Chains A and B, each alone.
Chain A
Amino acid sequence: MRKAIYALLGTIAGLGGLLGLKANLAPADTTAQAAAPPPAAAVEPSADAAKQPAGQTAGQPAKTATGKESTNPYESVQVKVTVSGKKITKVEIAKFAPKDAQSKSIGGGALPKLQQATLAANSADVDTVSGATFTTKSYKESLQSALDQAGL
C-alpha cells in the first residue's frame, strides 16, 4: 500500500502550500479495517502492482514520536503520534498552552477536532470524516515534525 501524507498550510478556507509530502511503499494491508486510517493516500495495489517491495507488516511494535513545539500568537502546541508500521494509530496533544482565554475556548475546542481529522475517523466503520476542519497551523507544524520523526 502506497501512502502519502499531505499537510497543507492554508488560507481562511484552508487551502495552502504544502508542508510536506512523504511517500512510503508498504505491502497491501488486506485487513483494511484498522482502527483509524491515517491522513494518507492509500493506494490499493492492483494485481499488476503487487510487485512492490515488501515493507512493514502489521503487528509491529508501535512507536511514538513527539513533534517540535510550535507557537503562534494564540498558543503553543506540541503533538505526539503513535505509529504502527505505516499507520498512524493515535494522535495526542502533548502540550497545549493558550495565551489568552479566548484562544483557550477556540483552541481547546478545535484541537480535539484536529486529532479527529488526523485520525480521519474515530470508528472503524467510517472511511473519512466531514466537518473536522483544520484551523491550527501550530498543530499541523508539530504534527508534521512528529511524522517526519516517525519516518512517515
Chain B
Amino acid sequence: MGTVFSIDVRSGVSVAALDDVIAWLHWVDSTFSTYQPGSVVSRLSRGELTPDECPPEVREVLALVREASAKTDGYFTEAPHGILDPTGIVKGWAIERASDLLAAAGSSAHSVNGGGDVQLVGTVGPARPWRVGIAHPLRPRRLVAVVTAEDAAVATSGTAERGRHIVDPHRGAPPEGLASITVVGRRLAWVDAAATAAFAMGPERGLAWAEAQADLEALAVTTSGRTRQTSGFARWGTLT
C-alpha cells in the first residue's frame, strides 16, 4: 500500500516548515501503524499499553473515533475488523494537522492531499478558489465532478483499493451499490470518517445520512455509474 502526499503551498512558507510536516507524517505513521507490531497502536490493541500510557495524540484520535462512531450510528467503528484499528480516521486527521502546521508557519493558502483526501486552506490566488477534481470511480483518468472551495476538506471512499475493505459493521459484509462517495466539509478528520461511514452505509442510507448532516455535503457514484448528490452539494461541486 502506499500514498503520495502532495503539498501545494501558495503563500510563503519555509522549507523548514515543510520538513516539520514531513517529520509529523513520519511520526504519525510510526505511531499509528497497524502493520508495525512495535507501534504504539499495535501495542495498545494487544493490551500492552493503556490509553493513558500512549501519547496524547493517540488519545485524541481515540476520542475522535468515538465521536465519529456516535455521529454515524456506529457505521464508523474503532474496530472494523474486530481489533482496534483507528486507521479510518488517522489519515484525514494527520492531513488536517499537517495543514494546521503549515498555517502556524505562516501559510494562509495551501492544499495538502494524502491519497486523494484533501484539506484546503485559503485560495489559489485572488478571487481564485481551489478546484478539486473528483476521480471517476469507474472511468480511469476521468473526473466525475469538480469541487470549487476555499477552507474546505474533501474525502472520497471507494472500492478501488486493494487491501482496504470497508465493511458495514452492522452486517459484517462490504456494502453494495456504491462505487464511491465523496464528502465535502470543513475539517478533514471528520470528513474522512464521514466518507468511510457513508460508504459503509450504502447508497440510500449514506446519502440520507449525509443530507441530515448540517456541515457535510456528498456526491455518490453507484456501481451502475449513476450520480446522486445531497441537496447542497451543488454549492461546492459541478458534475463534469
Contact = CB atoms under 8 A, between A and B. Distances in A.
Most buried by B among A109, A123, A128: A128
Interface residues on A, range: 35 or more
A42 B143 CA distance: 23
B5 A6 contact: yes
Contact of A15 (B22, B32, B131): B32
A135 B159 CA distance: 11
A21 B4 CA distance: 11
A9 B4 CA distance: 8
Contact of A126 (B117, B143, B156): B143
A5 to B, nearest CB: 8
Most buried by A among B1, B4, B88, B113: B4
Interface in B109-149: 111, 113-118, 124, 130-135, 137, 140-143, 146-147
A130 B147 CA distance: 9
Interface in A19-45: 19, 21, 23, 37, 39-45
Q: How large is the interface on B (under 10, 10 to 19, 20 to 34, 35 or more residues)?
A: 35 or more
Interface stretch (B12-20, B69-77, B168-176, B222-230): B12-20
B151 interface: no
Given A126-B131, A130-B135, A131-B135, A10 B1 contact: yes
A3 to B, nearest CB: 10
A119 to B, nearest CB: 9
B10 A44 contact: yes
A65 interface: no
B7 A131 contact: no
A9 B2 contact: yes
B4 A117 contact: yes
Given A6-B6, A12-B87, A15-B90, A131 B1 contact: no
A42 B18 CA distance: 11
Contacts of B130: 127-128
A130 B156 contact: yes
B132 to A, nearest CB: 5
9 contacts: A8-B3, A18-B26, A44-B12, A46-B12, A106-B162, A122-B141, A128-B130, A135-B1, A135-B163
Interface of A: 2, 4-19, 21, 23, 37, 39-46, 48-49, 74, 106-107, 109-110, 112-113, 115-118, 120-123, 125-137, 139-140
Given A4-B18, A42-B10, A125-B146, 19 more contacts: A12-B163, A14-B3, A14-B91, A15-B87, A17-B26, A46-B11, A110-B162, A112-B141, A113-B140, A116-B141, A117-B4, A122-B142, A126-B143, A128-B6, A128-B8, A128-B130, A129-B135, A130-B147, A134-B115
